[in-house]
Amino acid sequence: MISMITDGPFDVVLGSRILGGSAREGGMPVYKYFANRLLTAFQNLLGGAKLSEYHTGYRAFSRPVIESLALNENSDDFVFDNQMLAQIINAGFKIGEVSCPAAYFEEASSINFRRSMRYGLGVLAVSLQLFLQRRGWASFRIFAPDGRRLEAAPGAAEGGAAPAG
């Protein structure tokens, strides 16, 4: 993963359980597998990327990527990783993927079904924000350039959208 960043051509590399077909063989629960596939398809459609998986924790980033993202605007919950990917896509960084194994067992995942549902709804919201941002129809703080905060528009909710333009 690191050589794909240091030697090029990528700024970010994700480990994908989907590419190698190991997700289900590694014990990924059926509901998580199908949710992963549906959310990924939705995210690719709205975000314009063509990733096999957005929901992996196995990731590598170049330093310029980390330094340029408005990370303080992101959630403190599981959706943080997805917000990072939306920021990366919005900024135009190149994302590569490699196959990685999956191993599911009781202690392997700290997210339960209820939190998975909240995560899924958060992913949908972030995908919609990215879609609106990329079309210039809204401007969200998480997409502020160089990690700077956008000034909130009068009446805009904290962390919400400011008018485009």
pLDDT, one tens digit per residue, over 109-146 is 667 788 889 999 999 999 999 999 999 999 999 998 75
- Give the mean pLDDT of 53-72: 94
**pLDDT greater than 60 at residue 150:** no
Query: Whole domain around residue 77: which residue ranges?
Result: 2-138
Reported as a pLDDT band with limits 50, 70 and 90, residue 163 is very low
Neighbouring CB atoms inside 10 A of 99's CB total: 13
Amino acid residing at 28:
M
Burial track 113-135 (b if 16+ CB lie within 10 A, e otherwise): eeebeebbebbbebbbbbbbbbe
158 found inside a domain: no
Q: Which band of pLDDT confidence, cut at 50, 70 and 90, is reported for residue 147? A: low
Over the stretch 21-30, which tens digit does the pLDDT of each residue have?
A: 888 888 888 8
Look at residue 72 and tell me if it is in a domain: yes
Residue 144: inside a domain: no
Show the CA angle centred on residue 135, arms to residues 129 and 138, nearest 5°. Answer: 50
